[in-house]
Structure 1
Amino acid sequence: VSQNDPKYSIVAPVFNEEETLPEFYRRIFAVVQELDSATELLLI
């Protein structure tokens, strides 16, 4: 396992969620900043 590999993966369905996506991203970003590990966000 490489040091660049994410420790956490967040997978979120976003189909037809254009209106809520900016707020969702702000909230997720705030949480991810608190983590002390690499994280990936997959918007499906």
Structure 2
Amino acid sequence: MDLKTDKLSFPALHSRIDWQASNHELLQISRNCLGYFKSRS
């Protein structure tokens, strides 16, 4: 499934999905960073 052609067909739907996905990734990254700094201190 090609996401680029999909985005052209359903821009609103996919921007919402992208936002949710990137938001989830940011949460994971910030949790990883917190765990990293806690383990170092």
Q: Do the structures match in fold with TM over 0.5?
A: no
Specify the TM-score bucket, using the shorter chain as the normaliser: 0.3 to 0.5
Bigger strand fraction: 1
Q: Which has the higher contact order (CA 8 A, sep 6+)?
A: 1
Greater percentage in helix: 2
